[in-house]
A and B are shown apart, each in its own frame.
Chain A
Amino acid sequence: MNCLEFRRRLGSEPASTLDSFIAHRAECFGCAAAHSRADEFEARLRRAVSVAVPVNLADRILLAQTTELRQGLRKRRRGFSTLILAAAASIVVAVLALQRPSQQMPALAAMVDAHLHKHVVTASEAQSEVARQDVIDTFAQRGVSLAAVPDGVNFVHKCPAGPYKTVHMVMPQEGIPVSVVYVVDAPPQSRVEFSRDGTYGREVPMGKGTLVMLAASSNGFDSIENAWKSAMDAGVAQNREVKTLFAAKSLPGAASWDWRTRVAAP
């Protein structure tokens, strides 16, 4: 490195650690003096650019960082909680959707419903419980053998519903008449719950046919379903004695029901 190169380097990088730079400084008195002057200027320059730093700058940065860290963790936790809640909500919605009656009435129930609108059962027709033998006989005429009859059948009749053969009954439950139609020749499908225009319904595969219930409320469906399941099971077990489950008795207040507005029946 010659003097010119040294001075160029000195003007641009006074603290250069290049071997040739250091070597030239050591051997050239003039350049060494220039280097000393440059060092003084660099010291002034360093002082000038070293502006005062705000107090606690590092602490404030660390505080900002830990705050962001906490917020991030909180967001992640919240996000995780939201995911859990969303998953739980989805399960609840799914369960409710499964439990909620379908808005669509199944084809079989629609046929039954259409028949009920054509063949209206009046209150006087379903005022009191019919004889159990009448129920057994009606079912027998449809080819179904019953060894027991549920309590509370106030009306029974053989009716067609579309192409199907049915036994149509009225079984009041908790003051509300329920149209109970056993479709003898409808192949059993899955159990369906539905609701449309204030009418609640349920289709239950039972025996070789399907039991259809229609009413203004679904409150009595469970007890009717259970009673008919027991009756059908008893029918299968032909001579089995059923004593306590089906005691004949009439329901109070049946005469006050508004049959025409609450339920249509044959």
Chain B
Amino acid sequence: MPVNSPMSSRQHQFEALVRGHSTDLYRYAYWLCGQDALAQDLVQDTFLRAWRALDKLREVGAVKAWLITILRREHARLFERKAMPSDDIDDFDLPDPQATPEHRTEESALRAAIGRLEAKYREPLVLQVIGGFSCAEIADQLGLGEAAVMTQLFRARQKLKGQLGFEDQSAGVSEL
């Protein structure tokens, strides 16, 4: 569905994009950089770039992948400028007022475990869990082969379960 339209419609479309995707984009940005303020900046910069390039978007169905691509590029630019640390993020304890104390403890542990994952495992996992992308789509996003992405995702889950003592339903499938 083409996104070429007059100014008012363009603005309306942009607002819909922001309201529909800013939450997922913020969470993805957060897991990418590990800092709340930086993640907010990344999301804002991403949407501003998206606004300027909105005419280039041809398919609304691909908008999430498009926004993720912009955000990854923004993060890469930032990383180039400031050499931001992206591994071993320790600062993942954002308060979640809706969570129960039990859940909060479990989630905190899981968040910490995700934060300890190497970036090559964490990024595809977050893309899959937050974005709902398939292995093929993630491979396309990251410029990797689908098999490689499958391996990374498999290992990411194994590592998390191993750290948290969860039963591994794929026991016996050590390698792909």
- Whether the Cβ atoms of B31 and A49 lie closer than 8 Å is yes
Q: Which of B56-64, B68-76, B79-87, B91-99 lines the interface with chain A? A: B91-99
8 Å CB contact of B135 from A12, A33, A44, A51: A12
Give the interface size bracket for B toward A: 35 or more
- Whether the Cβ atoms of B107 and A16 lie closer than 8 Å is no
- Whether the Cβ atoms of B170 and A11 lie closer than 8 Å is yes
Contacts of B33 in A (CB 8 A): none
- Whether the Cβ atoms of A37 and B169 lie closer than 8 Å is yes
In the complex, the chain B residue whose C-beta lies closest to that of A31 is B169
In the complex, the chain B residue whose C-beta lies closest to that of A15 is B132
8 Å CB contact of A58 from B22, B128, B129, B154: B22
Within 8 A of A (CB), among B121-176: 125-126, 128-130, 132, 134-135, 149-151, 153-154, 157-158, 160-161, 166-167, 169-170, 172-173, 176
Contacts of A53 in B (CB 8 A): 22-23, 26-27
Q: Which secondary structure dominates chain A's binding surface?
A: helix
Q: Which of A2-10, A105-113, A165-173, A222-230 lines the interface with chain B? A: A2-10
- Whether the Cβ atoms of A51 and B110 lie closer than 8 Å is no
The distance in angstroms between the C-alpha atoms of A7 and B95, with both chains bound, is 35
Contacts of B157 in A (CB 8 A): 11-12, 41
Give the interface size bracket for A toward B: 35 or more
Contacts of A57 in B (CB 8 A): 22-23, 26, 40, 43
B24 shortest CB reach to chain A, Å: 9
A25 shortest CB reach to chain B, Å: 12
B66 within 8 A of A: no
